[in-house]
């Protein structure tokens, strides 16, 4: 079926990057994107226009979120298994420093006006505040278990930290770093994003597959929209009154109407999508696919009539001229050499008691391992 002439169809380009890509940040001036790759312990630079990988730099173990500071021209990533924030020079793509934080940092938020970086420490149940210019830790503020993704409201000067294991959002004062209270939301809030103009905070409740809506002025949950699957990453696009959700469960980019919660489109991207960002200058959307080891570039077809075009988009052709039998086909990735091998020995701290647990405890039994990273 061919889309009508009044609607443009989405165009997909897939760029192979490192292992398990998660966090995304954009550098429009250089036409670069940055993606963290937790399984290969690196940050990768890629061409925003679909030309492939441009470079890579080793950081700490299991980097999850990525932030780009255009004023300082630096890239920041939180290394969950190293308990550090790595700092990268964007001009040279060299590692500049690693700032110690608390246990298992899995989320970052950047306040460009105050020149502060907020780091959500998942196992440390806290938020670390860093001066991005001096690279100094300013404060450690208690949050709750599973502290991760962070969003900043520039209007009221408040910081919102999602607590994945506690089903709450901790609210902090951006100037004093003091806690202002908690907002109870849906199960497993994995990502938060803000639409300051509409005075809304959107929350990806991953375990109940919903998009929570919080009124920033009252601090109350005012709505909850079904998404389906397991939403992990979200990003608001106020100009079109939509929120993009990376649905890890279905492998789709979900477009949600913020006026009534209607699903406008479900666009298959790659396996295990995790983060989603959009470029203000071009309107193009980028999605990281942890299971496909790729970043998908989706040329947004909704500029003139976003809702009709989103629902009518049915097929696409990659912009490099190579036709795809399936427009969202992802690049082939060789299986990991450990697949099919005996499970290696490992030990991890229990997130509730702190006790070290080893795989030997379940030897000879049937069990399920559920690895879920939140930021």
pLDDT of 342 strictly over 90: no
The pLDDT value recorded for residue 338 is: 62
pLDDT band at 336 (very low <50, low <70, confident <90, very high): low
- With contact defined as beta carbons under 8 Å apart, do 100 and 64 qualify? no
- With contact defined as beta carbons under 8 Å apart, do 29 and 40 qualify? no
114-139 mean pLDDT:
98
pLDDT of 306 strictly over 70: no
The pLDDT value recorded for residue 240 is: 87
Average pLDDT in the chain = 86
Phi/psi of residue 114, each to 5°? -90, -5
Between β-strands 285-289 and 356-358, what pairing exists: parallel, antiparallel or unpaired? unpaired
Write down the H helix ranges in 2-141. none
Residues in the chain: 375
Looking at per-residue pLDDT, the higher value among 99 and 367 belongs to 99
- The set of residues, in sequence order, having a beta carbon less than 8 Å from that of 51 and lying 6+ positions away, is none
User: How far apart, in whole angstroms, are the C-alpha atoms of residue 142 and residue 135?
Assistant: 21
Looking at per-residue pLDDT, the higher value among 253 and 9 belongs to 253
pLDDT band at 200 (very low <50, low <70, confident <90, very high): very high
The pLDDT value recorded for residue 252 is: 93
Looking at per-residue pLDDT, the higher value among 139 and 355 belongs to 139
- The set of residues, in sequence order, having a beta carbon less than 8 Å from that of 353 and lying 6+ positions away, is none
Phi/psi of residue 309, each to 5°? -65, -35
Task: Tokens for 335, please give them.
Answer: 């299986």
The pLDDT value recorded for residue 351 is: 67
In 3D space, the residue among 75, 58, 140 whose CA is nearest the CA of residue 102 turns out to be: 140
48-72 mean pLDDT:
96
pLDDT band at 65 (very low <50, low <70, confident <90, very high): very high
The pLDDT value recorded for residue 353 is: 79
DSSP string, 202-258: EEEETTTTEEEEEETTTTEEEEEEE--S-EEEEEEEGGGTEEEEEETTTTEEEEEET
The pLDDT value recorded for residue 83 is: 98
pLDDT of 348 strictly over 50: yes
User: How far apart, in whole angstroms, are the C-alpha atoms of residue 331 and residue 292?
Assistant: 7
User: How far apart, in whole angstroms, are the C-alpha atoms of residue 372 and residue 146?
Assistant: 11
pLDDT of 8 strictly over 50: yes
Task: Tokens for 362, please give them.
Answer: 């379940």
Task: Tokens for 240, please give them.
Answer: 């079109």
Decide: helix, strand or coil at residue 82: coil
The domains found in the chain, sorted by start residue, are 11-312 (2.130.10.10)
User: How far apart, in whole angstroms, are the C-alpha atoms of residue 275 and residue 189?
Assistant: 14
The pLDDT value recorded for residue 349 is: 78
The pLDDT value recorded for residue 302 is: 57
DSSP 336: P
pLDDT of 314 strictly over 70: no
- With contact defined as beta carbons under 8 Å apart, do 205 and 234 qualify? no
- The set of residues, in sequence order, having a beta carbon less than 8 Å from that of 352 and lying 6+ positions away, is none
Q: What is the largest CA-CA distance in the chain?
A: 62
Percentage of residues in the chain with pLDDT exceeding 70?
A: 84
The pLDDT value recorded for residue 369 is: 62
Tell me, rounded to whole angstroms, the distance of Cα 307 from its chain centroid: 24
The pLDDT value recorded for residue 350 is: 77
pLDDT digits (tens, 9 = 90+) for 222-270: 999 999 889 999 999 998 899 999 999 899 999 999 999 999 889 999 9
E strand or H helix at 130, and its extent?
strand 126-131
């Amino acid at each position: 079926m061919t889309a009508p002439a009044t609607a443009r169809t989405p165009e997909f380009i897939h760029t192979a990057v490192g292992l398990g890509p998660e966090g995304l940040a954009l550098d429009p001036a250089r036409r670069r994107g940055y993606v963290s790759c937790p399984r290969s312990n690196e940050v990768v630079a890629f061409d925003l226009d679909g030309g492939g990988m441009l470079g890579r730099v080793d950081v700490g173990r299991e980097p999850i979120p990525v932030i780009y500071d255009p004023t300082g021209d630096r890239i920041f990533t939180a290394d969950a298994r190293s308990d550090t924030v790595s700092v990268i020079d964007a001009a040279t793509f060299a590692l500049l420093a690693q700032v110690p934080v608390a246990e298992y940092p899995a989320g970052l938020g950047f306040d460009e006006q105050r020149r502060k970086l907020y780091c959500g420490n998942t196992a440390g149940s806290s938020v670390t505040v860093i001066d991005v210019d001096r690279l100094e830790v300013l404060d450690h503020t208690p949050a709750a278990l599973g502290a991760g993704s962070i969003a900043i409201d520039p209007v009221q000067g408040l910081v919102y930290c999602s607590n994945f294991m506690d089903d709450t959002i901790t609210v902090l004062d951006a100037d004093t770093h003091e806690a202002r209270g908690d907002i109870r939301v849906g199960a497993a809030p994995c990502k938060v994003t803000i639409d300051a103009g509409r005075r809304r905070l959107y929350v990806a409740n991953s375990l109940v597959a919903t998009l929570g809506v919080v009124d920033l002025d009252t601090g109350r949950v005012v709505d909850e929209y079904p998404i389906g699957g397991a939403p992990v990453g979200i990003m608001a696009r106020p100009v079109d009154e939509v929120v993009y959700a990376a649905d890890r469960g279905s492998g789709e980019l979900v477009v949600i109407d913020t006026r009534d919660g209607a699903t406008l489109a479900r666009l298959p991207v790659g396996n295990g999508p995790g983060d989603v960002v959009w470029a203000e200058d071009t309107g193009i959307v980028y999605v990281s696919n942890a299971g496909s080891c790729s970043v998908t570039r989706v040329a947004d077809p909704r500029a003139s009539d976003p809702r009709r075009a989103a629902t009518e988009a049915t097929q696409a052709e990659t912009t490099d001229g190579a036709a795809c039998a399936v427009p969202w086909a992802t690049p082939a990735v060789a299986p990991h050499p450990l697949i099919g091998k005996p499970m290696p020995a490992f030990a991890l701290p229990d997130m509730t008691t702190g006790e070290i647990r080893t795989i030997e405890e379940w030897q000879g039994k049937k069990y399920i391992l559920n690895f879920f990273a939140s930021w």
